[in-house]
């Protein structure tokens, strides 16, 4: 309810502003500078009703300019000028002139065109009404009112749109909801598969790291084997050289024939003799047969 009252109030103000340009409202904006410094452009003047017989010279009156005169002299619809002469011949008419122009208005103001007399001036308040008078101002006012109405009733319009969608597009919405659920389940399955794949990759990386460490250990062992083989080869080379030197030395040493055993010849026994203890003793001392037989 408050929103509706606010919108109605704004629309009423806009309509009142447009009607003021038509001379319907008891106020109007000052269009130009023809009455300066008495009336300044952009001010809002309040109109007081007055009968043609009460108007006298020097009063500032507001009058309507007929269409043919407006088109011929390029005047606005309403004009506020000072009265410089009142004619009463064949009815009451007025001659008017702006305070800031050198010549008077090129037409006579009739009594039926009189709208009133200036009673009060409010500075700067007439600029919005002057803007509404222009082509772009009218378009802006219409667009602004539409946007303001949409802003005020945005929630209601959204609620109504949802109701229409729920009523007319319920099957489509339900189908889309099911599709969304299926897609969500598929996405969850894909995420789980990706998680398992990531775990498998992590395990493979761990195995690869262990294999890499084993390969590095084998490489180090092969290096040690190479070093050991090199050392063994060196030892074998040294042994071969020693064997060659020994063989060379053996070839250089002359062959020594073994000496025959020294056998003491047994004295020939020509005839048996009695063996006595004394004879054996003599024989053992190396006496000759003749000696130990004596």
Instruction: Give the separation between CA 94 and CA 56, rounded to whole angstroms.
Output: 9
Structure tokens at 125: 């308040």
Q: Are both 80 and 121 inside the same structural domain?
A: yes
Q: Are both 147 and 174 inside the same structural domain?
A: no
Q: Are both 97 and 191 inside the same structural domain?
A: no
- Residue 102 in any domain: the answer is yes
Structure tokens at 157: 């319009």
Q: Which residue range(s) make up the domain with 134?
A: 2-152
What is the residue-averaged pLDDT of the chain? 77
pLDDT computed for residue 139 by the predictor? 75
Which CATH number does the domain housing residue 33 bear? 2.10.109.10
Which of the pair, 146 or 76, is modelled with greater confidence? 76
Report, as an integer, the average pLDDT of 124-145: 72
Q: 44-48 and 114-122: which strand pairing? A: antiparallel
pLDDT digits 0-9 by tens, 77-91: 889 999 999 999 888
Last residue of a domain, one of 152, 180, 202: 152
Report, as an integer, the average pLDDT of 202-231: 81
**pTM, to two decimals:** 0.45
pLDDT computed for residue 100 by the predictor? 92
- Residue 271 in any domain: the answer is no
pLDDT digits 0-9 by tens, 232-278: 888 888 888 887 877 777 666 555 555 566 555 555 555 555 556 66
pLDDT digits 0-9 by tens, 35-68: 988 999 889 899 999 999 999 999 999 999 998 9
Report, as an integer, the average pLDDT of 168-175: 68
Are residues 74 and 107 in contact, defined by beta-carbon separation less than 8 angstroms? no
Could you tell me which residues come within 8 angstroms of residue 63 by beta carbon, excluding any fewer than 6 positions away? 78, 79, 81, 94, 96, 109, 113, 114, 115
Instruction: Give the separation between CA 98 and CA 93, rounded to whole angstroms.
Output: 17
């Amino acid at each position: 309810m408050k929103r509706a009252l606010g919108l109605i109030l704004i629309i009423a103000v806009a309509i009142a502003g447009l009607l003021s340009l038509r001379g319907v409202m008891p106020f109007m904006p000052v269009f130009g500078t023809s009455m300066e410094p008495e009336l300044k452009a952009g001010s809002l003047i309040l109109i007081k009703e007055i009968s043609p017989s009460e108007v006298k010279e020097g009063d500032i009156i507001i009058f309507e300019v007929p269409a043919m005169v407006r088109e011929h002299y390029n005047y606005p619809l309403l004009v506020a000028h000072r009265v410089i002469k009142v004619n009463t011949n064949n009815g009451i008419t007025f001659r008017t002139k702006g305070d800031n122009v050198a010549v008077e208005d090129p037409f006579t103001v009739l009594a039926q065109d009189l709208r009133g007399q200036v009673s009060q001036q409010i500075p700067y308040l007439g600029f919005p009404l002057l803007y509404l008078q222009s082509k772009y101002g009218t378009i802006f006012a219409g667009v602004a009112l539409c946007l303001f109405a949409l802003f005020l009733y945005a929630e209601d319009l959204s609620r109504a749109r949802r109701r229409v969608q729920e009523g007319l597009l319920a099957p489509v919405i339900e189908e889309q909801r099911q599709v969304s659920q299926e897609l969500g389940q598929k996405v969850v399955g894909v995420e789980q598969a990706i998680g398992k794949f990531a775990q498998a990759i992590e395990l493979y990386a761990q195995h690869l790291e262990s294999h890499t460490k084993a390969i590095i250990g084998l490489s180090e062992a092969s290096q040690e084997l190479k070093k050991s083989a090199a050392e063994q080869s060196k030892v074998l080379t040294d042994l071969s050289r020693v064997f060659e030197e020994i063989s060379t030395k053996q070839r250089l040493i002359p062959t020594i024939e073994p000496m025959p055993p020294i056998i003491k010849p047994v004295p020939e026994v020509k005839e048996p003799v009695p063996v006595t203890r004394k004879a054996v003793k003599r024989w053992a001392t190396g006496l000759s047969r003749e000696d130990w037989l004596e």
